[in-house]
Chain A
Amino acid sequence: MRIAVLSGKGGTGKTLVSVNLAAIAKASTYIDCDVEEPNGHLFFKPEGVQEEEISVKIPKVDNELCNGCRKCVDFCKFNALAYIKNKLIVFDDVCHSCGGCILVCPERALTEKEKVIGKVQKGVSGEVTVWTGILNTGEATGIPIIQKLLAEDNPQGDQLIFIDCPPGSACIVMESIKDADYCVLVAEPTLFGVHNLNMVYELVKLFNRPFGVVLNKCLEEDNPAEKFCLEKNIKILGRIPFDNELGTLNSNAEIAVDKNEKYRELFSSLFDTVIKEVHHETITNS
């Protein structure tokens, strides 16, 4: 059962929610798809970490076979190739790995080599299996890493998988929620928070994923995010109050449910609600 946790905006509490829900569940899996800025591993401190490099295919040229026709240079939509003084130059970091140049070369002078763009780490923290995706700085896209992360985990029956998504609603977020069974949207009670909640709301609707909202950092005052949910008839899964102690624990990368009974209860209750909703949705949809 794959549960994706996302929010349009950074800093609303995706990691807080996904890490603590995974910790509360017995024998679950946590996957950190925020490959530009992965944070979950800082909380779980996984052990026995195994690493695998992720690479993409980049063209390489055999200059002996190249006849200088420049069909590849002309074909490349990303301008990753240049032909100067009878030599083909390949710009690895501009290349999108589409394989087109290799197809168009009439002399078979182009073949492919691997370029490492990041890595995937797998470790264990108590009963939680922790997967972390890390994109190397300077690389443009983390999609191949997310694809690996989500292909790797093999759902063993009802094993719960919590996916910590990247912020925003761009293609890497879509990749993260594509095959999720349920989406938990985390929202904060600010003007910015609602604006961005609306974005991911549109996204989950577009992808036809069942979803609910967790309101985080709730204060006494009017909550524009709550208002939004009521207006749109969106299921509110739970409310996490704004709490200095919780904030401190979080800022020290400590898993709240392990540190204080109060939070254990809070997240247990949230967990029960989420599971109930997930089952309800899957029954309804099957």
Chain B
Amino acid sequence: MKIAIPIDEKSLKANVCVSFGRAPYFLFYNTVTKESYYLDNTAVASQGGAGIRAAQVIADHGVKALLTPRCGENAEKVLSDAEVLVYKSISGTAQENIDAFIGEQLNLLNDFHAGFHGHRGN
């Protein structure tokens, strides 16, 4: 399955980024083929709604699970409509998180912070 991780640098050894919407890059990883690629996050320069845009990109790439330390309500709405599961990442590198995910050690994220401009879309 394809998973995604917000990341600080383009490397499996890089740390997971503290923010989802404003992460500089996204890592896309295929747990079966072990192939990976990176994308620059175009949402970074946005005035607002960065999480929404980032979530749209994640959904468009056919991701089934997102590993992230935090996620906003608005992004969560997009991801849940797209049937992407959101897991709470552990502190550490992307590789450590991938291994934890495959080892079924990660929990689903269940606290989504309020969007900076309010609540869920409809």
Contacts and interface: CB of A to CB of B under 8 A. Distances in A.
B71 interface: no
Contact of A94 (B43, B56, B115): B115
A79 B115 contact: no
A206 interface: no
Interface string B45-57: 0111110110110
B121 interface: yes
Interface string A68-111: 00000100011111111101011111100000000000000000
Nearest to A87: B81
Nearest to B51: A79
A48 interface: no
A85 B52 contact: no
A138 B117 CA distance: 6
Interface in A173-232: none
Given A94-B117, A138-B118, A79 B43 contact: yes
Contacts of A52: none
Contacts of A92: 118, 121-122
Nearest to B77: A89
Interface residues of B, number: 25
A85 B82 contact: yes
A140 interface: yes
A93 B50 CA distance: 13
Contact of A84 (B53, B56, B74, B118): B56
B3 interface: no
A89 B43 contact: no
Contacts of B117: 93-94, 138-140
B48 A78 contact: yes
25 contacts: A73-B56, A78-B47, A79-B43, A79-B52, A82-B53, A82-B78, A82-B121, A84-B56, A84-B81, A89-B77, A90-B121, A91-B49, A91-B52, A91-B77, A91-B121, A92-B121, A92-B122, A93-B117, A93-B119, A94-B49, A94-B74, A94-B115, A94-B117, A138-B118, A140-B117
